[in-house]
């Protein structure tokens, strides 16, 4: 089966004998021409293993796939999630980039929710509450947790803590250091039916001993009310926002509590700026399009099985965790939109960690391992701390690693030879502000969507998440000895747990 991406193979073959240093040496303007800026966000693709001819082929594919029209359809609220017959209007949560009636109506709902968030925060600020515990999982946890960890400042009005894992140790560790009389809780679940969240929510509710300090974010008002949380303390979600795209909604209530509502709105404004850029910038000047095309090149032309994301700022150490869900849940698909089999590879495995710690863990494999791993390096130009020597060392290591991976170093000793030719993209923020971080995350969102368009898959469903949940629910009676598991290996494992099925 041929695909629109098959033409990339010839370029990859042509370039296979041309290392990155040679590409740079043969094109003196490459460092400037393969870089783009949008406000406080700068992106350099100069160390990717393509040349101008290969880029021309990539952008020709982008034109044929109508990436510009695809962005328009996304932001206008078209049904870009056909398997669930839904739009994906997370952009309406943060701005009015699109002018369709549907998008503007969604924007009005988002603004109404933001007003309620501000009122709730102002009211909480008049109480003795000092700590907030946020309970959620997946998209209801990873985004808010990332933003709070990155941007919360010492001395903020509220300290925000997170519980996600159903393992009871997670709840015990978070609650152990808190005073229930000075703590409020937020239970976040789109359907308010997620097993892990409800179990942890009950632990939090019982520990607080007072429903008046328990809040909820959900689409399902009745289930929230049945849980014991009043409508006055419930914020809305909508079907047109997917969980992993929802931090911009009331799911961001913990963010607003940690940063203040003004900080949350600045985060939204940064994302809206990137929305406008992704929609209006010509493809050749569009950071989201370049990023998406680079990802497709590395997967389908270079056949890279994994992708590293390496933030050189400790405040962004949770970014790899967040991107694992955003990218792999969105693009981990094996059939086309029409249900037919794909004729090409889709998402690689995303992983990573924060530099410089990771230089002392897995960078050995990046430099001298048998697999070439493309990487996104992320740096922050201006520090927010007074330790100038540390920041200089951090930036020196950031620049050194991208250079060393690309250029390598010859040695007559094979053990000390670095082959180089390892591709990377460098993303730089002028400073780590809510606006800049909002832009960075929106960049990844749009890159993921455009990759899905190029591959002809749905970036907005996640049916692969459901099967494990269904099996887990069916096994609960077996764990309690009420039924017998049907799978023979599971039966043997239950015996190891000391569980004997009830007979009779």
Question: Is residue 285 in a domain?
Answer: yes
* Domain identity same for 242 and 370: no
What CATH number is associated with residue 488? 1.10.1390
Do residues 8 and 69 lie in contact, with contact meaning Cβ atoms separated by under 8 Å? no
Pick from 263, 291, 320: which residue ends a domain? 263
pLDDT of 247 reads 97
Distance CA 311, CA 122 (A): 34
328-to-9, 139, 173, 265, 323 alpha-carbon distances in Å: 24, 13, 29, 28, 8
What is the three-class DSSP state of 409? strand
CA atoms within 13 A on the CB side of 487: 9
Per the listing, tokens 């102002």 go with 122
398-401 contacts, C-beta under 8 A, 24 or more apart = 398/312, 398/355, 398/426, 401/310, 401/355, 401/359, 401/363, 401/377
* Domain identity same for 14 and 155: no
- The pTM score is 0.96
Per-residue pLDDT of the chain (504 residues; tens, 9 = 90+): 456 687 899 999 999 999 999 999 999 999 999 999 999 999 999 999 999 999 999 999 999 999 999 999 999 999 999 999 999 999 999 998 877 899 999 999 999 999 999 999 999 999 999 999 999 999 999 999 999 999 999 999 999 999 999 999 999 999 998 999 999 999 999 999 899 999 999 999 999 998 899 999 999 999 999 999 999 999 999 999 999 999 999 999 999 999 999 999 999 999 999 999 999 999 999 999 999 999 999 999 999 999 999 999 999 999 999 999 999 999 999 999 999 999 899 999 999 999 999 999 999 999 999 999 999 999 999 999 999 999 999 999 999 999 999 999 999 999 999 999 999 999 999 999 999 999 999 999 999 999 999 999 999 999 998 888 888 888 988 888 888 889 999 999 999 998 876 554
Question: Is residue 96 in a domain?
Answer: no
Residues listed for the chain: 504
Distance CA 439, CA 426 (A): 15
Q: Which residue of the set 76, 196, 265, 329 is catalytic?
A: 329
Do residues 402 and 377 lie in contact, with contact meaning Cβ atoms separated by under 8 Å? yes
* Domain identity same for 412 and 489: no
* Domain identity same for 431 and 386: yes
Question: Is residue 102 in a domain?
Answer: no
Range of the domain at 485: 464-496
Angle made by CA atoms 162, 168, 169, in degrees to the nearest 5: 75
Residues 6+ apart with CB under 8 A from 385: 391
Per the listing, tokens 């010839």 go with 10
Tokens standing for residue 378: 């992320």
Q: Which residue of the set 360, 385, 410, 415 is catalytic?
A: 360
Do residues 163 and 205 lie in contact, with contact meaning Cβ atoms separated by under 8 Å? no
Question: Is residue 72 in a domain?
Answer: no
* Domain identity same for 450 and 476: no
* Domain identity same for 314 and 341: yes
Distance CA 273, CA 264 (A): 15
329 is catalytic: yes
Tokens standing for residue 59: 């952008």
Q: Which residue of the set 280, 303, 469, 502 is catalytic?
A: 469
- Comparing CA positions, the residue from 129, 122, 243 lying closest to residue 184 is 129
What CATH number is associated with residue 156? 3.40.50.10490
Residues 6+ apart with CB under 8 A from 273: 38, 39, 435, 438, 439
pLDDT of 406 reads 98
Question: Is residue 94 in a domain?
Answer: no
Residue 207, number of CB atoms within 10 A of its CB: 17
Tokens standing for residue 392: 């200089």
Question: Is residue 157 in a domain?
Answer: yes
Q: How many domains does the chain have?
A: 3
360 is catalytic: yes
469 is catalytic: yes
Fill in the DSSP letter of residue 329: I
Quote the distance between the C-alpha of residue 478 and its chain's center.
35
Pick from 263, 293, 317: which residue ends a domain? 263
Distance CA 207, CA 224 (A): 18
Per the listing, tokens 């969604």 go with 106
Distance CA 20, CA 93 (A): 41
* Domain identity same for 297 and 425: yes
Distance CA 368, CA 430 (A): 32
Helix 101-124 vs helix 261-280: crossing angle, to nearest 10? 160
Do residues 374 and 302 lie in contact, with contact meaning Cβ atoms separated by under 8 Å? yes
User: Cα(first)–Cα(last) distance of the chain, in Å?
Assistant: 55
* Domain identity same for 411 and 438: yes
Query: Which residues on neighbouring strands pair with residue 35, listed in sequence order?
Result: 44
Sequence-ordered strand ranges (E) for 224-323: 234-236, 306-312
* Domain identity same for 468 and 451: no
Per the listing, tokens 């400042």 go with 153
Residues 6+ apart with CB under 8 A from 172: none
C-alpha torsion 145→212→170→307, nearest 10 = -20
* Cis peptide leading into residue 356 (ω within 30°): yes
Burial of 385 (0-12, 13-18, 19+ CB in 10 A): exposed
Pick from 214, 230, 263: which residue ends a domain? 263
* Domain identity same for 443 and 305: yes
Do residues 445 and 395 lie in contact, with contact meaning Cβ atoms separated by under 8 Å? no
Q: Assign 3-class secondary structure to 47-70.
A: CCCCCHHHHHHHHHHHHHCCHHHH
Distance CA 311, CA 354 (A): 5
* Domain identity same for 209 and 228: yes
């Amino acid at each position: 089966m041929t695909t629109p991406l098959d033409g990339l193979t010839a370029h990859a073959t042509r370039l296979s004998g041309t290392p990155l240093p040679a590409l740079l040496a043969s094109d003196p303007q490459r460092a400037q021409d393969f870089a783009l800026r949008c406000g406080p966000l700068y992106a350099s693709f100069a160390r990717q293993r393509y040349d101008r001819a290969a880029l021309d082929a990539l952008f020709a594919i982008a034109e044929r796939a109508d990436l510009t029209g695809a962005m328009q359809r996304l932001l206008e609220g078209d049904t870009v999630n056909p398997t669930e017959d839904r739009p994906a209007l997370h952009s309406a949560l943060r701005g009015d980039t699109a002018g369709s009636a549907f998008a503007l109506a969604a924007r009005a709902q988002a603004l109404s929710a933001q007003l309620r968030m501000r009122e709730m925060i102002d009211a909480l600020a008049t109480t003795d509450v000092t700590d907030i515990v946020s309970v959620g999982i997946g998209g209801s946890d990873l985004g808010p947790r990332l933003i709070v960890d990155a941007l919360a400042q010492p001395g903020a009005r509220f300290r925000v803590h997170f519980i996600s894992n159903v393992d009871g140790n997670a709840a015990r560790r978070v609650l152990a250091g808190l005073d229930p009389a000075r703590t409020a809780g937020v239970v976040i679940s789109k359907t308010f039916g997620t097993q892990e969240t409800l179990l942890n929510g009950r632990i939090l509710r019982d520990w607080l001993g007072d429903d008046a300090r328990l809040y909820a974010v959900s689409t399902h008002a009745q289930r929230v009310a049945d849980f014991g949380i009043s409508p006055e303390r419930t914020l809305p979600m909508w079907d047109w926002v997917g969980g992993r795209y929802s931090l911009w909604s009331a799911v961001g209530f913990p963010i607003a509590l940690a940063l203040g509502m003004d900080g949350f709105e600045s985060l939204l404004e940064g994302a809206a700026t990137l929305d406008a850029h992704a929609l209006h910038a010509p493809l050749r000047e569009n950071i989201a399009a370049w990023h998406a095309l680079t990802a497709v090149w590395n997967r389908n032309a270079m056949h890279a099985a994994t992708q590293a994301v390496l933030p050189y700022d400790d405040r962004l150490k949770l970014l790899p965790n967040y991107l694992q869900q955003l990218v792999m849940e969105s693009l981990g698909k094996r059939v086309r939109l029409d249900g037919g089999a794909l004729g090409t590879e889709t998402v690689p495995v995303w992983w990573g960690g924060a530099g410089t710690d990771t230089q002392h863990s897995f960078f050995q494999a990046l430099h001298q391992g048998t697999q070439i791993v493309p990487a996104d390096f992320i740096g922050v130009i201006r520090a927010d701390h007074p330790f100038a020597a540390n920041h200089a060392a951090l930036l020196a290591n950031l620049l050194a690693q991208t250079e060393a991976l690309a250029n390598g170093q010859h040695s007559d000793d094979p053990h000390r030879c670095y082959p180089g030719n390892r591709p990377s993209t460098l993303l730089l923020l002028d400073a780590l502000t809510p606006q800049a971080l909002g832009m960075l995350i929106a960049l990844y969102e749009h890159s993921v969507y455009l990759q899905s368009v190029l591959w002809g898959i749905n970036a907005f469903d996640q049916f692969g998440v459901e099967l494990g949940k269904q099996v887990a629910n069916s096994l609960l009676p077996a764990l309690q000895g009420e039924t017998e598991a049907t799978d023979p290996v599971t039966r043997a494992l239950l015996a190891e747990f000391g569980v004997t099925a009830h007979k009779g």
